[in-house]
Structures are given as structure tokens and as C-alpha cells.
Amino acid sequence: MNQQDQDERTRIREAMGRLLAGQATASNGSLTAAALAAEAGVHRMALYKRHVDLRLEFDERIRKETKQIPETEKQLRATIAKLKKTIANQRAEIEELRDLVTRLTLASAVLVQGRDTPTEPVPVPDNVVPFRRPTI
């Protein structure tokens, strides 16, 4: 690890301490990775690419020291809840559609059966010999 990375890591750790103490100087003081990067004077992507361990450490310290859930975890939990609701709605809709298909199939069978057998016998002239229906 080069000196620049060490300097960044030191600044990030110091910024963590300031944010957790509520003494932000260069950011809005929120407990997010973006605020940590702004407070430390590093690019946000540096936390996500080069210093992943420090970002995870920050999230863990937020949980332990402030008894709060990190913002990213809150967003993920909200997304999971939304997706679970969507899945439940889709399952209910699939069940409704299956029931509808069954009912429509039965209705179609009744209509087809009714069309094949007339309700009243058709009068047959005296000179016509009816053929039997072929059995299929």
C-alpha cells in the first residue's frame, strides 16, 4: 500500500470519528458513505473500490455506537419489503387467472356440448333416411 492510500485511510478514519461524534466539519453530518467521503476529502468511489473494509467498518460502528441502521441497509430493507409485496400480489393474480382459465374452459365445454346436441329434435322429412353420426 502506498503513502497516498495510507493518507486516505487515515483521513477516512478521522472522518469516521467526527461523524460518529456529531462534529462534522466538511459534510452535512449524515451517517452515509457519501458524507464520510466528503468529510474525509476523498472521492466517494474510493470508499466503494479501494477502501471497502473502511466503509464496512463505518457501517458496523454506526450499528454499535449509535444503535442505528445504516442508510444503505434501510434502503435495501425497503426494497426487499416492496419486492415481497409485489411477489405476493403476483401470486394472487396467478391464482385468479388459473381459476378464470378453469371456469372459461368449463364454460366453453358446456357451450360446445350444447351446440352439438340440439334441444328440440329436427323434423325429418318422410323420404330422408338419417345417417348415424360417426363416432370419433
SS (H, E, C) 26-69: CCCCCCCHHHHHHHHCCCHHHHHHCCHHHHHHHHHHHHHHHCCC
The torsion of the CA quartet 49, 31, 37, 13, rounded to 10 degrees, works out to -90
What was the pLDDT predicted at 117?
62
Look at residues 2, 8, 20 and name the one whose alpha carbon lies nearest to residue 54.
8
Per-residue pLDDT tens over the stretch 44-85: 898 889 899 999 999 888 888 888 887 788 889 999 999 999
> What's the grid cell of residue 92?
394472487
- CB count in 10 Å sphere of residue 87: 10
Q: Above 70 in pLDDT, residue 119?
A: no
> What's the grid cell of residue 58?
463505518
Distance separating alpha carbons of residues 124 and 136, to the nearest angstrom? 24
Report pTM: 0.54
Look at residues 7, 47, 39 and name the one whose alpha carbon lies nearest to residue 23.
39
